[in-house]
Amino acid sequence: MNLKKKTRGQLIVLSGPSGVGKSTVISELLSERENIYFSVSFTTRQPRVGEEDGVNYNFVSREQFESMISGGELLEYAEYVHNYYGTSLRLIEEKLSAGTDVLLDIEVQGAAKVRAKCPDAVFIFIIPPSFEELSRRLHRRATDAEEVIQGRLQKAREECKQIPNYDYLVVNDGSRDRTAAICREHGFNLLNLPVNLGLAGCFQAGMKYAWEKGYRYAIQFDGDGQHRPEFIKTMREKMDEGYDIVIGSRFVTEKKDWSFRMLGSRIIGAAIRLTTGAHIKDPTSGMRLFNRKMIGEFALNLNYGPEPDTISFLIHQEARVAEVQVTIDDRTAGESYLKPVTAVKYMVRMLLSILVIQNFRKRQQDAKTKG
């Protein structure tokens, strides 16, 4: 095999709130990749315990940093919690020109400046598992005053609003299988979260990204081998007939069995039919295709996950829903979170939501209009 050495390196920008685990991701990436350079940023903040000048950061005074700004020596810079952070333009260009990939760990302000100057760069954002967990991590550090920690948490909320501006959000959502190894083997960008973010959080982040990028379709698709990608084309063709949501159903032309799980699906389907008039044969299917209109609903107006009660709510909002027959296989990896006890709780929660709570549920846009 004749491999040509690339003439220019790839610029990779990594962002995420303080305490989210960027240092861990960077350390693992550097240990597995040879031709990659981690750019050490300049900062005016004081070193933390164990940090080394020139290794973790290049620590400079505020006067020195402002001199670098006026001299045009920085690719980007930003002020974060009363401290400057910036990247050397000369050093980055030298590495890229030599064919070396360059990894930057910078805040969203700085990333926006890099995006404007380097449109070919790859931008990756690490999501915190939850703001509660982020708060615990920042307090466990015991390096900042409470006022500083609260400032970082507020900043984290603002930073997460910028997720749609990033190119890759590959989330290993706390799984214990070979997800991380497989992504690395195939060269995928991987954000390896130590704590499960949950279905709703990951789904909404994806919908916001799809909305900002102008996608016409977005599909909810399990990664455990149950769903077959060859049915996506059929689902899209059905959607193009004028539907807003298309469900990959096991029971359009085939009958449900009488297992306990299918009994729950029948009951949930009956509740949807009772309250909306819509006959959804497989309301618990996790294979769903959404059009541009629905992407916008989840990205801008709804703060809910893609569960049967949300589908019921959207039908109330005049969304058109169709089903197409698909084959859903036994999972090839992982296990269902719906055990007997949790399955009962899930069914009860869905029924209460569909039969009662839907009458009080509002879109964020409607709430703002009435407020």
Number of domains in the chain: 2
Which structure tokens are listed for 371? 């407020």
- Residue 7 or residue 317, greater confidence: 317
CA 358-360-361 angle, to 5 degrees, is: 65
Q: Does 129 reside within a domain?
A: yes
Looking at residue 362, its pLDDT comes to 62
List the domain range (segments joined by +) for residue 300. Answer: 214-370
Instruction: Please provide the average confidence, as pLDDT, over all residues in the chain.
Output: 81
Residue 355 and residue 231 share a domain: yes
**250 within 8 A of 262, measured Cβ to Cβ:** no
Looking at residue 1, its pLDDT comes to 33
Decide: pTM greater than 0.75: no
The highest-confidence range among 10-24, 38-52, 194-208, 214-228, by mean pLDDT, is 38-52
Local confidence band at 346 (pLDDT 50, 70, 90 cut-offs): confident
**247 within 8 A of 232, measured Cβ to Cβ:** no
Beta-carbon contacts of 287 under 8 Å, excluding residues fewer than 6 positions away, are 219, 220, 221, 222, 227, 231, 235, 247, 248, 326, 328
Between helix 308-316 and helix 340-355 the angle, nearest 10°, is: 10
Between helix 260-276 and helix 308-316 the angle, nearest 10°, is: 10
List the CATH number of the domain containing 74: 3.40.50.300
- Residue 141 or residue 337, greater confidence: 141
Looking at residue 131, its pLDDT comes to 74
List the CATH number of the domain containing 238: 3.90.550.10
3-state SS, 236-293, equals HHHHCCCCCEEEEECCCCCCCCCCHHHHHHHHHHHHHHHHHCCCCCCCCCCCEEEEHH
Rg (CA), the chain: 24
- Residue 283 or residue 126, greater confidence: 283
Residue 181 and residue 53 share a domain: yes
Phi/psi of residue 34, nearest 5 degrees: -95, -50
Residue 171 and residue 49 share a domain: yes
Q: Does 205 reside within a domain?
A: no
Q: What digits encode the pLDDT tens for the residues 317-342?
A: 999 999 999 988 876 555 555 556 67
Which of 135, 164, 197 finishes a domain?
197
Q: Does 6 reside within a domain?
A: no
CA 124-125-130 angle, to 5 degrees, is: 155
- Residue 188 or residue 41, greater confidence: 41
Q: Does 309 reside within a domain?
A: yes
Which of 149, 170, 197 finishes a domain?
197
Q: Does 87 reside within a domain?
A: yes
Is the per-residue pLDDT at 194 higher than 60? Answer: no
Looking at residue 224, its pLDDT comes to 66
Looking at residue 34, its pLDDT comes to 79
Which structure tokens are listed for 48? 């933390």
Give the distance, in angstroms, between the CA of residue 291 and the centroid of all CA atoms in the same chain: 19
